[in-house]
Structure 1
Amino acid sequence: MTTKKGESGAGAPFWEKPLSELTRSQWEKLCDGCGRCCLVKLEDEDTGVIHHTSIACKLLDQESCLCGDYRNRRAHVPDCIRLTLTKLQTIKWLPPTCAYVLRNEGKPLPPWHPLLSGDPDSVHRAGVSVQGKVEASEEEVDDEDTPEFIRTWPKRWPRKARY
């Protein structure tokens, strides 16, 4: 397996640098394209516990697990979060496999991450992405039926993806 060097071509690859040193372009490239953050989440009003569902955002391309209109997503989904280093410190619903979470904790990227594998499909083969796991789009489910789609897998490491 070969790794790609950072954009400057010198020193450590950009994904090994502290998140605070990444350019906007490097920050965006850190995303592995799993689509887990694009699943609908429910928050228990009494406890604050976040429950993940198998319902996808209406913009999620369920095959590629990428946003269908990333650049203009906020126009279609006003509550879509633009992840920043500051927000990363407070958001507790990102999956444990998330590259931003891992790097924020000082951990390396896993071998299936596309930046290491050189293959954007490696995240799917490792079972990390939502590919084949989405049960509905948010446009297909009434709000009162959303709790029926609560699942635990978005908060877990898939067995074959562990390292």
Structure 2
Amino acid sequence: MAAEVFWRSTPLEEMSETQWESLCDGCALCCLHKVEDEETEQVYYTSVVCHLLDLENMFCTEYEKRCSLVPQCVKLRPEDVEEFHWLPRTCTYRLIHEGKDIPDWHPLITGRRESVKQAGASVVSWFEVTDDQLAEEDYIDYVIESGGPA
């Protein structure tokens, strides 16, 4: 019998940094800017993506400095799992927190980072413009209607 995979046997809060980082499927949907309704606190995704994202390779070009370069960037941490409700439905961190398994296209399953794009599960399916091409107050014009990633 095969050994249990770490994401099924180790709680998010107890994962090593290497395990935690490997959960990220590289979809970059969290790199889409979000707007929040101040009255309802509902979070809406936009089709505006961070200018630091390399859309070809699906990684942040300034990963280590991203939070200082983009103040609204959120660093996902194990101690914040209760707040993961705003993450995309397919996000591995959210899925595991909700007691679900990871999708078949996840690189931990396929062994290939490109499987995320091939499955249509990446930001490439959603983005229209980068944030350096418009003013922040215009993000509301790019809200993704029903069926979006959130």
Q: What TM-score do you get using the length of structure 2 for normalisation?
A: 0.89
- CA offset at residue 64 of structure 1? 2.1
Aligned to 1:49: 42
Aligned to 1:159: none
Determine if the alignment matches structure 1 residue 11 to structure 2 residue 3.
yes
Determine if the alignment matches structure 1 residue 141 to structure 2 residue 142.
no
Aligned length: 146
Which has a greater percent of helix?
2
**Superposed CA offset, 1:92-117 (max 9, x none):** 21011000111112211111001001
The answer on whether the counterparts of 1:112 and 1:126 sit within 8 Å (CA) in structure 2 is yes
The CA distance in 2 between the partners of 1:21 and 1:90, in whole Å, is 17
The answer on whether the counterparts of 1:56 and 1:136 sit within 8 Å (CA) in structure 2 is yes
- CA offset at residue 65 of structure 1? 2.2
> Unaligned regions of 5+ residues in structure 1, if any?
1-9, 156-163
The CA distance in 2 between the partners of 1:34 and 1:60, in whole Å, is 11
Aligned to 1:154: 149
The answer on whether the counterparts of 2:13 and 2:79 sit within 8 Å (CA) in structure 1 is no
Aligned to 2:117: 124
Secondary structure at the counterpart of residue 131 of structure 1: helix
Aligned to 1:5: none
The CA distance in 2 between the partners of 1:122 and 1:144, in whole Å, is 34
**Superposed CA offset, 1:3-35 (max 9, x none):** xxxxxxx93222222223310111001000001
Q: What TM-score do you get using the length of structure 1 for normalisation?
A: 0.83
Aligned to 1:115: 108
Q: CA RMSD in A?
A: 1.6
Higher alpha-carbon deviation: 72-81 or 23-32: 72-81
**Superposed CA offset, 1:51-78 (max 9, x none):** 1100011211122221111112122112
